[in-house]
Amino acid sequence: MSTGRLQNVRESLPSSRGIAALASALVDPTTERDRERRRIVALSLPFASLLLVAGVYPLLEVVRISVSAEPFQSVGFTLDAYRTLFTDPYYLRVGVNTLWFAALTTLVSVGLAVPIAHSLEKYDLPGEDVFVTLVSFPISLPGIVAAFMILVMFGNNGVVTNLVATFARMNPTDIAFAVSVPGLFLAFVYSMVPRATLILRGTYAEVEGAAEEAAQALGATPFQTFRHVTFPQIRPGITGALILTFRTGLAIFGTLIVIQTLVVWTLQLDRELAAGAFPVAGAMATVYFVFVFGFTALGLRYTSAEVGL
């Protein structure tokens, strides 16, 4: 690094005298600006404490466990757990299963949420309050309960299964799909659609109705109005819904405990913990955090760019 650049870096760093002055201003503010800074710091302290205790410290412990040479204590340093994750075909397959399943359920969930939010915000539907309650209801359900509902409806003795079997004169076990990939898919979508819908309803509230009315007055069809006028306005909301829903799909665990038909990252992580493979479990948790954090950061940056446009 050149002398000039080094000097610039040194000048940009806060001096000990500047830090002491800032601390003094926070403890005993004399101006309105100093008092505002103290209020900001005071309001941020609870969150910072929670972030440190429930976020940073556990994450550091997980990383420490993942590089330990011994499974039950922190001894030495090794990257064998990470090497296993990125070279073993089984773990690679688990990673691929996680990504494609979360992506597919996300696309379907957001695709269903768009017309639901559009209908709720654009039309006066009969029994709208009841419909909103039904759409939002899955958010309050644990994943285990949602999975159990799928079993009750579409299992071998499920209500829908037996009803269809009666009319089609088929064996219920031949058409039951609750403990298959389609059943798991339905359980995921059931839990994810409400989250996407709530985000998109907030986005629709900001849509300019005058622009839509102008497009319709010029002869645009409802589909053309949605495509050229409404969709560009709700696109940031759709991006946000995709981010949140995809993260939800990656994090679902309770549903997988009941319907273990597809091995994804969270389910395999539970199995590693049950088997006492703590370094591998720590490595899986670390990789999961890095991926989700990076995906979220990039997604939010893209959303900000969309809003700026």
pLDDT tens per residue across span 270-280: 898 888 888 99
Asked whether residue 71 is assigned to any structural domain, the reply reads: no
The answer on 97 and 218 residing in a single domain is yes
The answer on 149 and 214 residing in a single domain is yes
The answer on 209 and 127 residing in a single domain is yes
The answer on 231 and 109 residing in a single domain is yes
pLDDT band (50, 70, 90) for residue 10: very low
Choose one of 66, 99, 114: the last residue of a domain.
Answer: 66
Asked whether residue 199 is assigned to any structural domain, the reply reads: yes
Domain count for the chain: 2
The answer on 234 and 111 residing in a single domain is yes
CB 94 within 8 Å of CB 268 = yes
186 phi-psi bin (left φ>0, alpha ψ -120 to 50, beta other)? alpha
pLDDT of residue 76: 76
Lookup: tokens for 82: 């990470």
Domain that holds residue 215: 81-308
Choose one of 12, 40, 66: the last residue of a domain.
Answer: 66
The answer on 107 and 40 residing in a single domain is no
pLDDT digits (tens, 9 = 90+) for 89-99: 999 999 999 99
pLDDT band (50, 70, 90) for residue 66: confident
The answer on 135 and 284 residing in a single domain is yes
CATH number of the domain that 278 lies in? 1.10.3720.10
Asked whether residue 72 is assigned to any structural domain, the reply reads: no
Asked whether residue 161 is assigned to any structural domain, the reply reads: yes
Going from the C-alpha of 61 to that of each of 11, 65, 85, 164, 274, the distances in angstroms are: 35, 6, 19, 52, 18
The answer on 113 and 44 residing in a single domain is no
In this structure, what DSSP letter does residue 69 have? Answer: S
Going from the C-alpha of 46 to that of each of 51, 54, 55, 211, the distances in angstroms are: 9, 12, 13, 44
Asked whether residue 74 is assigned to any structural domain, the reply reads: no
Report the share of the chain in percent with pLDDT over 90: 22
pLDDT band (50, 70, 90) for residue 184: very high
pLDDT digits (tens, 9 = 90+) for 25-42: 555 666 777 677 777 777
pLDDT of residue 91: 94
pLDDT digits (tens, 9 = 90+) for 136-158: 888 877 888 888 989 989 988 88
pLDDT of residue 172: 82
- Non-local CB neighbours of 169 within 8 Å, separated by 6+ positions: none
The answer on 200 and 164 residing in a single domain is yes
The answer on 304 and 172 residing in a single domain is yes
Averaged pLDDT, 239-268: 90
